[in-house]
């Protein structure tokens, strides 16, 4: 599966089977996480066979079932932390999809206290990504009109439309899609327009846009 195919087929999944993830897939996913941490300076961690973080009233409220694997999105405190975690977290989520796993971004409906990730004094656990073999593949989320989420000077180039279509497929907190892309000449600007976990969402949609548009186009 290509990463473009992963963008189209990855949907949020909250209920998982009890099938364990093979050591080969864990190794590939860990390699991707290691690369992301080396590039970014983040402290993202893969937690395997550890169900306690999703054994809580919050998780039951969020309708999670059989979550025993997740990616803990951790990094040094700073104003750009949320956006970086969104960008690299979605890179990892799409890699998981390519490896045959399902996933779900989780901002609040899990137990931070029971999470076993290592968090240094200058670091913050912002959210997690649940992983595993879903009981279903999930369903596509509803999207806003493409033109309501972007501003373009003149006619919209095909590459920009491709980027926006990929951004529309990005997961955002409670499916709020509160972002705006603008094109002036060959310069693209992306901003958050508010909402819950908006900076994390901005990192996620930026990653999708780059994959859809192609980095050489802007």
Mean pLDDT, residues 156-172 taken together: 97
d(CA 41, CA 54): 27
Domain ranges of the chain: 3-132, 146-217
CATH number for the domain running over 3-132: 3.40.109.10
Query: CA gyration radius for the chain?
Result: 17
> Above 90 in pLDDT, residue 88?
yes
| Phi/psi at 73 (5° precision) | -95, 100
Query: pLDDT, tens digit, for every residue of 20-54?
Result: 999 999 999 999 999 999 999 999 999 999 999 99
Average model confidence (pLDDT) for the chain? 94
Could you give the CA distance from residue 79 to residue 86 in angstroms, rounded to a whole number?
13
> Which residues, at least 6 apart from 148, have a Cβ–Cβ distance to it below 8 Å?
none
Same fold, 3-132 and 146-217: yes
Strands, E assignment, the chain:
45-47, 69-76, 102-106, 123-132, 150-152, 179-184, 187-192
Q: What is the pLDDT of residue 58?
A: 62
The tokens of 43 are what? 């402290």
Q: Over the stretch 204-214, which tens digit does the pLDDT of each residue have?
A: 999 999 999 99
The architecture that CATH gives domain 146-217 is 3-Layer(aba) Sandwich (3.40)
Query: What are the tokens at 94?
Result: 């799409």
Give the angle 191-80-145 at the CA atoms, nearest 5°. 25
What is the tens place of the pLDDT at every residue in 48-79? 999 999 987 665 666 899 999 999 999 999 99
- Local structure of residue 147 (DSSP, 8 states): G
Residue 98 pLDDT greater than 70, yes or no: yes
């Amino acid at each position: 599966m290509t990463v473009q195919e992963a963008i189209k087929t990855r949907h949020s999944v909250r209920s998982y089977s009890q099938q364990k993830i093979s050591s080969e897939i864990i190794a590939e996913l860990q390699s991707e996480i290691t690369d992301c941490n080396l590039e970014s300076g983040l402290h993202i961690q893969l937690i395997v066979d550890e169900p306690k973080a999703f054994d809580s009233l919050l998780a039951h409220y969020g309708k999670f079932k059989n979550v025993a694997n997740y990616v803990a999105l951790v990094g040094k405190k700073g104003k750009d932390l949320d956006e970086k975690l969104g960008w690299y977290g979605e890179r990892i989520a799409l890699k998981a999809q390519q490896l045959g796993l399902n996933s779900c971004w989780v901002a609040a409906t899990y137990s931070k206290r029971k999470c076993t990730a290592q968090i240094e004094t200058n670091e913050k656990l912002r959210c997690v990504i649940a992983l595993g073999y879903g009981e279903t593949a999930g369903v596509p989320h509803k999207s806003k009109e493409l033109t309501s989420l972007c501003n373009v000077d003149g006619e919209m180039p095909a590459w920009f439309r491709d980027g926006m279509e990929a951004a529309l497929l990005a997961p955002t907190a409670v499916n709020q899609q509160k972002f705006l892309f603008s094109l002036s000449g060959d310069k693209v600007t992306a901003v958050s327009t508010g909402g819950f976990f908006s900076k994390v969402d901005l990192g996620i949609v930026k990653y999708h846009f780059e994959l859809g548009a192609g980095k050489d186009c802007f």
